[in-house]
Amino acid sequence: MDNDIKRLARLTAILIQFLSRRLVNSTTLAAKFGVSVRTIYRDIKTLERAGVPIVTEEGKGYSLVDGYKVPPIMLTETEANALLTAELIIQSSNDTSLIAEFASVTAKIKAILPNALKTKTEKLEKQMGVTNTYISESPKSNLLLQLQTPLLEHSVIQIKYTNKKGEQSIRDVEPFALYANQKNEWVLVAFCRLRHDFRSFSLINIDTLTSTNESFEPHKLTFEQYLIKTFGNKNG
């Protein structure tokens, strides 16, 4: 069973190589995956039998027929956002091997996302962050995915918020960014229409969140600029 899983993983990785390069050769693939050239030959035959149109260029290597694409991976928008969020959390850890392996996995998945979904995840990536510290537990919240859609679509939301003094207020806000702080909390950065300025709202203190049909013009300030302005550096 373990050998089957390893071979399946290698076949997937070989296909990714074909998709990301115009030409690959068996010697390079064998060295990359730590197997014999003969094993690579067998893997290529397996891919061909599975319907992958591989072209052999004598003395050069292999390539895919022009125009061939793997069918888009069937991820929903919230699933793709969850994957990005997990990547950000893992990147905040001190385990470099975990960071490298997970980055490799997400890169492979991102490579075959539909373009529209890929554009959204790339945009969200610029509006989320995790402070550069080890997080022993996942940042606490239950609204993270619910907030990502209005963040991307520039939709005004209404929140009922309880501050540190226990005072409640209802705010109409324009979502700007999300990040995890050193207190192990997810924080929403938003332009508060009540205060006419940017404010930070800990997600665990947001009692209710209501979407509206109102949209707003995206703010020209970038998330990185906000972090530098607020904390003095982009790591917060």
The pLDDT tens digits for 146-174 are: 898 899 899 999 999 999 899 999 999 99
> Is there a contact between 187 and 203 (Cβ–Cβ < 8 Å)?
yes
Mean predicted confidence (pLDDT) in 102-124: 76
The whole-number pLDDT of residue 98 equals 55
The whole-number pLDDT of residue 217 equals 95
The whole-number pLDDT of residue 134 equals 46
> Domains in the chain, start-ordered, CATH in brackets?
2-64 (1.10.10.10), 77-231 (no CATH)
Q: Residues 200-209: pLDDT tens digits?
A: 999 989 999 9
The whole-number pLDDT of residue 166 equals 93
CA distance 222 to 66: 38
> Is there a contact between 160 and 206 (Cβ–Cβ < 8 Å)?
yes
Q: Residues 61-102: pLDDT tens digits?
A: 999 888 776 665 556 777 777 777 777 777 765 556 556 777
Model confidence band, residue 104 (pLDDT cutoffs 50, 70, 90) = confident
> Is there a contact between 124 and 164 (Cβ–Cβ < 8 Å)?
no
> How high does pLDDT run on average in the chain?
81
Model confidence band, residue 39 (pLDDT cutoffs 50, 70, 90) = very high
Res 225 pLDDT > 60: yes
- Of 177, 185, 194, the C-alpha closest to 234 is 177
Cα 234 off chain centre by: 19
The whole-number pLDDT of residue 42 equals 93
